[in-house]
Structure 1
């Protein structure tokens, strides 16, 4: 008989990893996260409605910029999410390439258009804000230029997902570009400190007191949180749609569709 005393039990981290692997298959991801969509959408709506009404209607005007600063309630969440989503694409790219978890590639494919749209919104709103502040819609400022590069990186990732959609290398090229392009993220974040730029520094951070009054930064915080919740909602919904399309021939998808049609 084998000596059972020599058989080592799995460590805590091994058990956590094995538990994680049971949640990342397409079927498991769909069934775990599909119920989240409704509740995340409700939370996002609450935060965004309160934040937008408070910020656009009740927050006081800025002592220097007047009411023009209110575009910050759209610009800051869009810019923050554009950076965060690309970082997520890089992390998902590593997970896909190293551990071959296909769901990571599907989540990245769902996120990329959202990140591109938010990056474009941040560039447009930033340009609108720049006109009364700087006297021009655009300057080749380090922050603006690096954000423009980010938009092109997003476009490249989406193009690669589309180009390799029906091949064995689907997702690999997009993952590689996501990882390589992540070098642009610290340039965006620290460009204001590294170079003498027109762009102002961060409005508020987790490590420093806000640079504006509470009746200005609190609605902004609500808008940021609401925007992240909205992106999470859309990311899960889009990922689940891609999963259903990818696994449409599998029994569990057919069973799910039959259940929805009853």
Structure 2
């Protein structure tokens, strides 16, 4: 991991890896979503509405994965003082929040015909909504910390680790409580989903995960460029003051 601590080395890798992830991810996701929307069969009980699954389930996974990326980067920042950890956390926040919002939106669209209502205060739905609010809070805290302390505050990293407590709550909410949301259909080593539905779902998850990774790399490159530009401006301002 420390091999990527050098920003120049990271940028050399990200320069070709970012477009590869986004391009390949969009192609795979388009293929999977087209397969799921137009060629996969309708479900016996839910009918055509089951097709929302091909976007809803990957979005839920990536919403949680985004916060786990923040938590992992926060741990690396606090323990190892990795120079790119804070940037990785900031880069993961917006894509993670977007996928969390998509998960909630598609879940609401799916819940209306399935449950007869757009929203229920179910354990799974409520904990996902909490995750979205955690993203908003983390991004506001990171922005405020950077403005007030030049990006040196550890508060966002601590918040990132504490907020990770919500991830197992999301995962186990349908087991711990009498939830209206269905239990997990895919667990370690087995699946309750028929192959006609499972394969396009897995393919969509892979494609959107690659898109997520590409977006994180793109944002890291942009944040590093912004830092470098600010550093040049500070050096120029200091040189002008010394010359004066």
Query: When the two structures are superposed, what TM-score results if normalisation uses the length of structure 1?
Result: 0.84
Runs ≥4 residues deviating over 6 A:
none
Equivalent residue for 1:140, pick from 109, 121, 133: 121
Residue 22 (structure 1) aligned with residue 3 (structure 2): yes
- Structure 2 gap ranges (5+): 233-244
Q: Alpha carbons of 1:171 and 1:55: their partners in 2 closer, same or farther (altered >3 Å)?
A: farther
- Structure 1 gap ranges (5+): 1-19, 251-262
Q: Distance in 1 between matches of 2:36 and 2:55?
A: 10
Q: Distance in 2 between matches of 1:71 and 1:160?
A: 34
Aligned to 1:173: 155
Equivalent residue for 2:74, pick from 48, 71, 93: 93
Aligned to 1:48: 29
Residue 199 (structure 1) aligned with residue 173 (structure 2): no
Q: RMSD value over aligned CA atoms?
A: 1.4
Structure with higher Rg: it is: 1
Higher relative contact order (CA 8 A, sep 6+): 2
| CA deviation after TM superposition for structure 1 residue 163, in Å | 0.7
Q: Distance in 2 between matches of 1:56 and 1:202?
A: 22
| CA deviation after TM superposition for structure 1 residue 206, in Å | 3.5
| CA deviation after TM superposition for structure 1 residue 99, in Å | 1.5
Aligned to 2:225: 244
Aligned to 1:58: 39
| CA deviation after TM superposition for structure 1 residue 84, in Å | 1.0
Aligned to 1:184: 166
Pick which of 113-122 and 169-178 moved more: 169-178
